[in-house]
Amino acid sequence: MNNVMKTEFSALAENEAFARAVAAAFVMPLDPTVEELTEIKTAVSEAVSNSIIHGYEGCADRNEAKVIMECTISDGGKLVITIEDNGVGIGDVEKAMEPMFSTGDSEERSGMGFTVMESFTDRLKVRSEIGKGTTVIMTKYLDIISGI
C-alpha cells in the first residue's frame, strides 16, 4: 500500500496540534501501537513548533508564513514525514542539532527538539539554507503485520 498526503497551514501556534492530529490520523490505517503514535505525534510537534517559533521568528504576517507537511507511507510500513518552512533558515545545522543547543529563550526552550525527533524516528535529515527555509525529513519504520 502506498499512500501520500500533503497539507499546508499558517505558521500559528495552534496549528502544532492540528499537524499532530493530522499525522496521527494518516497513519491510523497501519494500526500503529500507542507508543508509535505518541512518538510520531511528538516528533511532528517538535518539527512544526521549530518552524513556527524559529523559522518565522519575528514574522509579522502569519497568514503568509506557511508550514508544509507531507507524509508518505510505502510498502512494509515505511513512514516518511517532511516538514518544511520558508523561514530564516539555519546557518549551522550540525550545531543546531546538538543536544541542548538553542538560540531561543532559555526559560522556554531546552534545545532538545532535534534530539527528540532523532530518538523517536529511525532517521532524521535536516536541509536548510539561510533566508530560504528549512526542511526536516523523518523516516520511521512501523511495526506492521505483513499481509494486512
Residue 121 binds Mg ion, judged by CB under 5 A: no
Helix axes 34-50, 15-27, angle to 10 degrees: 140
Nearest to 45, CA basis, from 129, 126, 112: 112
Query: Which residues from 41-70 bind Mg ion, rule CB under 5 A?
Result: 50
- How is residue 101 annotated by DSSP? -
Report the chain's C-alpha Rg in angstroms: 15
Which candidate in 62, 70, 109, 127 is catalytic? 109
Cell 499532530 maps to which residue? Answer: 20
Residue 15 binds ligand ATP, judged by CB under 6 A: no
112, interface contact from ligand ATP, Mg ion, none, CB < 5-8 Å by kind: ligand ATP
Residues that bind ligand ATP (CB under 6 A): 46, 50-51, 54-55, 85, 87-88, 90, 96, 101-104, 109-114, 134
State the catalytic residues.
46, 50, 109
